[in-house]
Amino acid sequence: MDRLIITGGNRLDGDIRISGSKNSSLPILAATLLAEQPVTIGNLPHLQDVTTLIELLGRMGVQLVIDDRMQVEVDVSTIQEFQAPYELVKTMRASILVLGPLLAHFGKAVVSLPGGCAIGSRPVDLHLRGLKAMGADIDVVDGYIHASVKKRLHGARLVLDTVTVTGTENLMMAAALADGVTYIENAAREPEVVDLANCLNKMGANITGAGTDTITIEGVETLNGTNHQVIPDRIETGTYLIAAAATRGRIKVKDTDPTLLDAVLQKLGEAGADITQGENWIELDMHGERPKAVSLKTAPYPALPTDMQAQFTAMNTVAEGTGVITETVFENRFMHVQEMNRMGANIDVQGNTAICQGVDHLKAAPVMATDLRASASLVIAGLVAEGDTCVDRIYHIDRGYECIEEKLQLLGASIRRVPA
């Protein structure tokens, strides 16, 4: 397994371009399973998770043409298989997103239950309960979800116990071809849900309310091909902004959308960052000043994203003052804390809250990544540590950050990838 070696102490200063959103690409690739004609998707990031889903579609017999700019044309008319095997699902739990489309368009699906992961048990009970309410027969046998529907799914009023992003997406895709109207209440409001709804409507779906907590889907008979560009990755954007803030530097992130991360920008303002923005760019400048510690509570969009929690924790380790960070979405998302404390941070975890007293600087240490965003936070910690920090198990990072070492090198970081 590759490792990243980061020599800390460099102040980031430069411009980078943001890639397409991973968490928009995955549901939109799954949505191609609903169409009668080819769907072309652009601005896809070149990430492990995206290639895993492309591989899964290919294994089903779906035809995919990928050009040199990672623009993908998907033609599902040649599909032969309707299943997602454990060996792929275990590497990328978002494979569950093929369940709704397969069921709605082909009336059957066999999808491995995604296991838990480092950050929590991450059940899919709400996905299954919603599909059952729409008329699906669902059995879970030997770790596989066996789903079928005799004729066609029917509309239903679905009230989700918990706000679930992929649950909302799966049910919205299933409802797009159902007979009748489906209401999803307590729906996720994430921009990636809106991007998916926009793509489905371009395919001929009839979806209103995406971005609010009640989404209405009037089912149609068939969905057509279209061409769609996925939105920029708001989590990648926030990650680089925080890296610049932690190193007291300056950054301009381009090809992004500032309206997707209001809560993050507001928090960075509290940290003392000088932020300006345009239609598709954000500039952050610390003017060489030490960031102030921030306190925050993660929650579903539009509140502070759980996917930004580890990165803000990393900034807090070297900030002025004490920051209190509370994680309300996942039950075990502080595994980066003990790694940072080994680097000299002063973080005390009490239940779902991490209390961090800022120190002047961290000290390099060998650390291990445990999940996608925790691994990015350890890279940020390495940027502000004295010496060479070695981050192990960076396959996590490659799942969600396109060319991270090249982008950081462009910003002046001293970082290199070494084979294990």
The residue among 248 and 333 lying less far from ligand EPZ, judged by its C-beta, is 333
Residues 117, 199, 356, 390: which is the catalytic one? 117
Does 95 sit near ligand EPZ (CB under 6 A)? no
* Of 19, 23, 216, 389, the one binding ligand EPZ by CB under 6 A: 23
* Of 105, 234, 373, 396, the one binding ligand EPZ by CB under 6 A: 373
Residues 187-206 interacting with ligand EPZ (rule: CB under 6 A) = 192
Shortest reach from residue 189's CB to ligand EPZ, in Å: 11
The residue among 129 and 254 lying less far from ligand EPZ, judged by its C-beta, is 129
Do 213 and 7 form a contact (C-beta atoms < 8 A)?
no
Does 124 sit near ligand EPZ (CB under 6 A)? yes
Does 172 sit near ligand EPZ (CB under 6 A)? no
Shortest reach from residue 376's CB to ligand EPZ, in Å: 9
One-letter amino acid for residue 303 of the chain = A
The residue among 167 and 225 lying less far from ligand EPZ, judged by its C-beta, is 167
The residue among 52 and 357 lying less far from ligand EPZ, judged by its C-beta, is 52
* Of 105, 127, 250, 267, the one binding ligand EPZ by CB under 6 A: 127
Does 286 sit near ligand EPZ (CB under 6 A)? no
The residue among 94 and 293 lying less far from ligand EPZ, judged by its C-beta, is 94
Question: Could you write out the DSSP letters of every residue in 73-87?
Answer: EEEGGG----EE-HH
Map residues 295-334 to x or -, x wherever contact with ligand EPZ holds by CB under 6 A.
-----------xx---------------------xx----
* Of 4, 174, 372, 394, the one binding ligand EPZ by CB under 6 A: 372
Map residues 72-91 to x or -, x wherever contact with ligand EPZ holds by CB under 6 A.
--------------------
Query: Which residues, 6+ apart, have CB-to-CB distance to 403 below 8 Å?
Result: 46
* Of 26, 47, 245, 271, the one binding ligand EPZ by CB under 6 A: 26
Residues 220-279 interacting with ligand EPZ (rule: CB under 6 A) = none
The residue among 103 and 385 lying less far from ligand EPZ, judged by its C-beta, is 103
DSSP H helical segments within 165-290, as ranges? 165-176, 191-202, 234-246, 262-270
Does 122 sit near ligand EPZ (CB under 6 A)? yes
One-letter amino acid for residue 149 of the chain = V
Distance (Å) of CA 416 to CA 212, 379, 389, 393, 403? 42, 11, 11, 14, 11
* 180 token code pair: 């009748």
The residue among 53 and 253 lying less far from ligand EPZ, judged by its C-beta, is 53
d(CA 85, CA 178): 26
The residue among 173 and 362 lying less far from ligand EPZ, judged by its C-beta, is 173
311 CB-side CA count, 13 A: 23
Please list the helix, strand and coil fractions of the chain in percent, rounded to the nearest 5, in that order: 35, 30, 35
Active site residue 403: no
Distance (Å) of CA 216 to CA 106, 120, 209? 22, 30, 6
Does 126 sit near ligand EPZ (CB under 6 A)? yes
Query: Which residues, 6+ apart, have CB-to-CB distance to 332 below 8 Å?
Result: 118, 119, 120
d(CA 138, CA 371): 30
Give the residues across from 184 on adjacent strands: 158, 215
* Of 400, 404, 405, 415, the one binding ligand EPZ by CB under 6 A: 400
* Of 14, 42, 107, 120, the one binding ligand EPZ by CB under 6 A: 120
What is residue 14's three-state secondary structure?
strand
235 CB-side CA count, 13 A: 27
* Of 18, 33, 70, 94, the one binding ligand EPZ by CB under 6 A: 94
One-letter amino acid for residue 1 of the chain = M
* Backbone torsion region of residue 211, taken as left when φ is above 0, otherwise alpha when ψ lies between -120 and 50, otherwise beta: left
* 371 token code pair: 């999940």
d(CA 64, CA 200): 19
- ω before 27 within 30° of 0 (cis)? no
* Of 41, 89, 145, 165, the one binding ligand EPZ by CB under 6 A: 165
Active site residues: 117
Residues within the interface to ligand EPZ (CB under 6 A) = 22-23, 26, 94, 120, 122-127, 162, 164-167, 192, 306-307, 329-330, 372-373, 400
